[in-house]
Chain A
Amino acid sequence: MAKIKKKIKTIKVDADKCNGCRSCEIICSSFHATPKYSLSNPARSRIQVIRHPIQDIWVPVFAGEYTPAECMGRDKYIINGKEYDECGFCRAVCPSRDLFKEPDSGLPLKCDMCEGEEKPLCVEWCLNDVLIFEEREEEVDEEEEQRLEDMEIGLEALADKYGLDKLKEALSRMTKD
């Protein structure tokens, strides 16, 4: 099978070093403003520092995928005696919470790794080296790379459930309107 090269971008989060300054939130909101840097508002940031200072909890979390429905179960972690919030480490933009939504429109936010910049801005602005950027190349199978797009995955799921004929009927009805 043919192999192709793929860039993997990772931000390593050394949460123990976080001092809760929120600079990462500020710069993310500012960088993604139009025009660039024309405003600042941590509530618009694609990284949010989950904070319970008195409990020694500071966890930077990046905005991930939008999901229309919350998951079936929730998780709750206790690490080193510290009890984290329900869904504490989850990156999803989920109806169960306000996290990672534009404050005015409610539209989902997603970390884009500061597409186009040499280094993610939050990484650059975290002067405490909590956020460490790593980029590596990996060889992956070509086939694996040609993964189905989101919509196709959804359609496939529907076809699985109702049968392909029923799905076709539904689609043609919808396209007539």
Chain B
Amino acid sequence: MRYAETGYNLEIDLATGNIERVETDPKLMELHLGGLGTSVKIHWDRVPPETTAFDPENLMVIATGLLVGTPAFSCNRTIISTISPQTGLLAYPMMGGFFASELKHAGYDKVIIRNKSPKLVYLYINNDKVELRDAAHLKGKGAVETCELIRQELNQPNAQVAAIGLAGENRVWFASIEQGRSSCSRQGAGAVMGDKGLKAVVVRGTKDINLADGAKFMEHMKDITAYINFRNENPLPGIQPIMAGIGSPQEMLHVDEAWHTTGFAWGNARVRRKDFWTEEIAKSWETTQHEAVKRLISCYNCPQQCGALITYKDVPAYFMKCFSKLTYTMAAYVEDLDFAFRIAHRAFNYGLDSFSTPQVLAFAVELYEAGILTDEDMPGFPPGNEDRFYYLLDKVARREGIGDILAEGTYGAARKIGKGAEKFDHNTTKKHEQMNVKLGMMDPLYYIMYATNEKISITQIEGNWPQSPFPTMEQREEFVRDWPQLPDEKFKKYFLDWEPRGEMANPYYPTPDIASEIVDWMDTIHNIDDALGFCAGMASFCLKPPYHINNYWKLISAATGMQVDKDEVVRKVKRSRHLHRAYNVLRGMRRADEKPPEDHWKKRFPEIEEKLLDAYYKHKGWNNDGIPTRKTLEEYDLGYVADELERRGILKDGQD
């Protein structure tokens, strides 16, 4: 019997309609755990670097985390991996919600989709019964709407649906895959799904997930539950509310947005408005939010409630999560939160990433104001901020006129438009839109994270370490006193020594070596979450989280029966991490690509920055170009990867 995992993948060939249930090699769990780890291995084995996003050979892998379906709270992630049309690298957007658990209970760890369907279809998985069904009648339908329509037509109210909207069908490079409550948004996985002619994946499952030592598992969960309860009652003192709690940022609950609206940049990631949050705004936003949020909702088996059912005025009901409340509003310079709850409904139905999309639209508005785009490019472009966003949103989703160019994202569109538009593409890294943050002093930790993160999205590497030093020694001492999540006691000293100003402050401290250790730890935690299926909000993207490097191994051992300790878990995850890096290296990623947006900080220190990258690569066991060395690869049983890198002339024979 297989424990924690189901031991089966579904292989779907959309060109022939062939469907196969394939037993997986138990060794893979020993090597890579599951989730993202085993998915990276599939891409490495089966999709060569020549394959681009819209080639039929590009795989779309819908994976569940190794511990999804066990009683571990907040373990519910679906990870969809595919070659991104935007970056050409491996995209792996994730979603919470209820999809992954349902898929696992249907009896599958992953669904692996290849080739393209000649006509629009959807995939229906009901335990052992799996079929491709015609989706002609769903063409052009909204993603949220599609989920409901399919549940009705199949008479399966409890089926979970992940669907694309018009943007995905039209292969917009930042199209998302929507599940109602959650979405896989980043880097255009929705465009790949649309390109394959797959409108939705529907799943219903009623099978068991087995645990090797369930009683032990529950013992560990008791401790973790006690800590969750404790933290829900005791937010961290001295930290802004949005980060003092556990769970993903509780954007649907909190109404105080002073921190985001005054700290983050408005428009095309341009302007910080330090005076924005007035009493009047606070009042109006609170009223609007309370009017819109009908009920706070959670993901599968999670005690937090980061999402909400939105029923707002004449807008049809939909779900919202996280930061999407603010992204459109801030990018469009709209001060009335009413706009947020209206435009989000349209954007989710189109199936668009709410991080990239608002930036692309704001970029177009800037180009228009600068005279680079004109009324000829945008006939009938309205004067109001809100109307302009609706206008552009529609154009992009339909790929109409200017929308057809904008559909390639800021980087791609800037190069197509030319005439100096490139200068307005100022907030991308590796061609992907970054968080709308612009700050003063270069920060060593964030420098490394922005530069090197494989997800190209800061929230997928930061989280366990406070964003800035604490002003007084007393506060720091108080904070480190109870910090069992740390990988090593010495990290406490790093934190105590970190000062807001002076020699022991950014950009000089943490030193490159210390910064490398801290970032490597955070990177590893994120990768553990992504292999196991935990919500980052309860682990890697959270200060002092319930799940951490010192307790994962207990859950993994009890669930799988594979006896691992902390070091062994780290080793497995690092193995996948090196493989992941090597895969992107095969696809052309190099040191030259690893830089945060130029204007991310006002004060830059090129010399220190070089040293930071040098140190981090060295710490990771990568060469000076960010490529894993043969020695490192062999240490992690990845000799075959070194061979391939050598065969392609990327690693030179004899060097490391």
Q: Chain A interface (Cβ within 8 Å of chain B)?
A: 19-23, 26-27, 30, 33, 35-44, 51-56, 58, 103, 125, 127-128
Known A-B contacts A36-B214, A37-B211; the reply to A19 vs B157 at CB < 8 A is no
| Docked-complex contact B296 and A127, CB < 8 angstroms | no
Please give, as numbers and ranges, the residues of chain B lying within 8 Å of A55 by CB-CB distance.
Answer: 317
- Asked whether A23 lies within 8 Å of B303 as measured between CB atoms, the reply is yes
* Alpha-carbon separation in the docked complex, A33 to B209 (Å): 11
CB-based closest 4 A-B pairs:
A37-B214, A43-B206, A127-B303, A103-B206
For residues 68 through 105 of chain B, which have their beta carbon under 8 Å from a beta carbon of chain A? 69-71, 73, 98, 105
A40 to chain B, nearest CB (A): 5
Q: Determine whether the beta carbon of A22 is less than 8 Å from that of B300.
A: yes
B144, closest chain A residue (CB): A54
Give 11 new A-B contacts, CB below 8 A, not counting A21-B301, A40-B70: A22-B98, A22-B301, A23-B303, A33-B214, A41-B207, A53-B297, A53-B309, A54-B319, A56-B295, A127-B225, A127-B303
Q: For residue B317, which residues in chain A have a CB less than 8 angstroms away from its CB?
A: 54-56
Bound-complex Cα distance A127 to B305 (A): 11
- List, in ascending order, chain A residues with CB within 8 A of B69's CB: 40
A19 contacts B214, C-beta separation under 8 Å: no
Interface string of B286-308 (1 = CB under 8 A from A): 00000000111111111101000
Give chain B residues whose Cβ lies under 8 Å from the Cβ of A40.
69-71, 208-209, 211
Contact partner, B105, options A43, A51, A53, A127, Cβ 8 Å: A43
Within the complex, which residue of A22, A37, A52 is in contact with B215, where a contact is CB–CB below 8 Å? Answer: A37
Q: Which residue of B lies closest to A38 (CB)?
A: B214
Residues in A with CB closer than 8 Å to B319 are 53-54
- Shortest CB-to-CB span from A131 to chain B, Å, is 13
Min Cβ gap A78→B in Å is: 17
* Chain B residues whose C-beta falls within 8 Å of the C-beta of A127 in the assembled complex: 225, 228-229, 232, 303
Instruction: Check if A103 sits within 8 Å of B207, measured CB to CB.
Output: yes
| Cβ contacts under 8 Å, A52 to chain B | 157
Contact B300 A56 (CB under 8 A): no
Task: Kindly list chain B residues whose C-beta atoms are within 8 Å of the C-beta of A35.
Answer: 214-215
Q: Is B217 an interface residue (CB 8 A)?
A: yes
| Cα–Cα, bound, A41→B305 (Å) | 22
Q: A56-B294, A103-B206 are in contact. Are A39 and B303 (CB under 8 A)?
A: no
A26 to B302, CA, bound (A): 11
Binding site for A on B (CB under 8 A): 69-71, 73, 98, 105, 148, 157-158, 180-181, 205-211, 214-215, 217-218, 225, 228-229, 232, 294-303, 305, 309, 311, 317-319
Can you list 30 A-B contacts with CB-CB less than 8 angstroms, sorted by A residue number?
A19-B305, A20-B297, A21-B298, A21-B300, A21-B303, A23-B73, A26-B71, A26-B301, A27-B71, A30-B71, A33-B208, A35-B215, A37-B211, A38-B210, A38-B211, A38-B214, A39-B208, A39-B210, A39-B214, A40-B69, A41-B208, A44-B208, A53-B319, A54-B319, A56-B294, A58-B295, A127-B229, A127-B232, A127-B303, A128-B305
Identify A21's interface contact among B209, B302, B311, CB under 8 A.
B302
| Among A26, A30, A51, contact of B158 (Cβ-Cβ < 8 Å) | A51
Answer whether A42 and B105 are a contact pair too, CB < 8 Å, given A36-B214, A56-B294: yes
- Which residues of A have CB within 8 Å of B218? 30, 37
Complex Cα distance, B316 from A55, in Å, reads: 11
A56 to B225, CA, bound (A): 27
Bound CA–CA A54/B179 (angstroms): 12
B309 partner residues in chain A, CB cutoff 8 A: 53-54, 56
Q: Are B73 and A56 in contact (CB under 8 A)?
A: no
A103 contact set on B, CB distance < 8 A = 206-207
Residues of B within 8 A of A44 (CB): 208
Report the bound CA distance from A52 to B297 in whole Å.
12
Most buried by B among A43, A51, A54, A127: A54
Our pick among A23, A39, A128 for the contact of B209 (Cβ within 8 Å) is A39
Best-buried of A21, A23, A38, A55 by chain B (most CB within 10 Å): A21
Interchain CA distance A23-B71 in the complex, whole Å: 8
Q: Which residues of B contact A128 (CB under 8 A)?
A: 303, 305
**Most A CB atoms within 10 A — which of B301, B302, B318?**
B301
Distance in angstroms from A20 CB to nearest chain B CB is 5
Chain B residue at minimal CB-CB distance from A23: B301
The interface residues of chain A lying within 8 Å CB-to-CB of B73 are: 23
Instruction: Check A54–B180 contact: CB distance below 8 A.
Output: yes
A54 to B319, CA, bound (A): 8
Smallest Cβ-Cβ distance to B318: which chain A residue: A54
**Contact yes or no, A21 B71, CB < 8 A:** no
Task: Find the B residue at minimum CB distance from A128.
Answer: B303
| Residues from chain A with Cβ under 8 Å of B211 in the complex | 37-40
Q: List the A side residues contacting B105 at CB < 8 Å.
A: 41-43
Q: Is the CB of B209 within 8 A of A53?
A: no
The CA of A33 and the CA of B214, in the complex, are separated in Å by 10
Closest to B297 in A: A19
Q: How many whole Å from B213's CB to the nearest CB in chain A? A: 8
Q: How distant is the Cα of A125 from the Cα of B209 in the complex, in angstroms?
A: 19
* A40-B70, A43-B105 given; A30·B207 CB < 8 A: no
Rounded to whole angstroms, the CA-CA distance of A26 and B102 in the bound complex is: 12
B215 touches A36 (CB 8 A): yes
Residue numbers in B under 8 Å from A36 (CB-CB): 214-215
Residues of B contacting A125 with CB < 8 Å? 225
How many Å lie between the Cα of A121 and that of B305 in the bound state?
21
Closest residue of chain B to A20, judged by CB? B297
B386 to chain A, nearest CB (A): 26
Minimum C-beta distance from B469 to chain A (A): 33
Report Cα–Cα, A26/B317, bound state, in Å: 28
